[in-house]
Amino acid sequence: MKRYLVLADGTSFAGEGFGASTITTGELALFTGNYGYQEALTDPANDGKILLFSTPLIGASGINAIDYEAINPRIKGIIAGGVAATGRSAAEDLNDFLQEKGIPGIYGVDTHALVRKLVAEPVIKASIMDTDDQHAFDQIKALVLPKNKTAQTSTTNAYAVPNVGKTVAVIDLGLKNSLLRSLSLRKINVVVMPVTASAEDIANLQPNGLIVSNGPGSVQEVRSNLAPIFKRFLTKLPFMGIGLGFLALSDYLKFELADLQPAYNGSNYPVIAQNTGLIWQTAMNLSQLALPQTVEFDFSEKYYDLHSDLLAGYRFDEEKIIATAFNPEGSPGAFEASVIFDDFFKMMNKNAVKN
């Protein structure tokens, strides 16, 4: 079935349709990982995106029960160079999964040309349609991209992920299931709170630590909600920010943020620890990092993105703060950075002894 990817600049790409046979519009976004398409499809941080896969082929491993980052994906569509039939009988076919979730896809397009466009333009509005006539172009030009992604993605009600250890409140900006899994493996009792939670709501839980999760959206969307929480708990409880949580915390600490073009979304972003020189291959999904020259704190450790030399993380033992632009849980990606969770756990134990 012939379909078209239509861009707001007036260009279109013809390809073969698969998945749901529906029209979709959203923001074109690049996923650079060579594996992990199921995690990318279901990552809440990809809310509202039409995801372009730079790897030549997806679909061979199908969809399984383990690699969901959220049960209901929030992406608007996918673009691939090629799509393979699922090679494992126990897995659901990718095409069937997309049809079930109402997500359209297109393959056989010039993905290299699309990548070059994304390198040149920060935001590209796109649509997957059955035609590429003038009406289609008019529709995509009129599209207004949503500015409240975090509110749409965050849970509306608090819920527990019980375990037997210390209690951590996780503020959900669009968290991944693998974050909860990483905490559960460390016997951490988790209470997930909505982005609208107040400082008093969190205080009532008497947590041993706080995490602000990764997610879609921008710092501007969450600044007013998170400022009272930062003010009340920062330096008093072990505090961790991931992805958008890293950006929000860095913004609160008055670090200047620098735009990435194209935005980082994949599993192949190397970061280096300043003190040890250790390099981790990490997963990221965000559009900004921090400018190192605007950071005046004497951090215990800093992590730099090797592609841009921008600050991608820091640890401040004295003030009980850890923040990473990268996702320590990987998924997709290597698990090298998962020791960040162990560092956070040590902070909670040390804080408990002091108190």
In CATH terms, are 2-145 and 150-354 the same topology?
no
pTM of this prediction?
0.96
Q: Which of 253, 242, 251 is nearest to 323 (CA)?
A: 242
Domain 150-354 has CATH 3.90.950.10: no
Q: Mind listing the pLDDT tens digit of every residue in the chain (355 residues)?
A: 899 999 998 899 999 999 999 999 999 999 999 999 999 999 999 999 999 999 999 999 999 999 999 999 999 999 999 999 887 777 899 999 999 999 999 999 999 999 999 999 888 999 999 988 888 888 888 888 888 999 999 999 999 999 999 999 999 999 999 999 999 999 999 999 999 999 999 999 999 999 999 999 999 999 999 999 999 999 999 999 999 999 999 999 999 999 999 999 999 999 999 999 999 999 999 999 999 998 888 999 999 999 999 999 999 999 999 999 999 999 998 899 999 999 999 999 999 877 6
Say if CB 42 and CB 69 are below 8 A apart: yes
Cβ partners under 8 Å of residue 323, min gap 6: 240, 241, 242, 245, 246, 249, 250, 313, 314
Helices assigned H by DSSP within 102-197: 111-120, 134-142, 149-153, 177-185
Q: Domain segments of the chain: what residues? A: 2-145, 150-354
Q: How far is CA 61 from each of CA 58, 71, 80, 335, rounded to the nearest angstrom?
A: 8, 18, 15, 20
List 212's β-bridge partners, or say none. 171, 241
List 144's β-bridge partners, or say none. none
Give the right CATH number for 2-145 from 3.30.1330.10, 3.40.50.1370, 3.50.30.20, 3.40.50.150: 3.50.30.20
List 27's β-bridge partners, or say none. 49, 125
Nearest 10 degrees: Cα torsion 191, 250, 73, 260:
-170
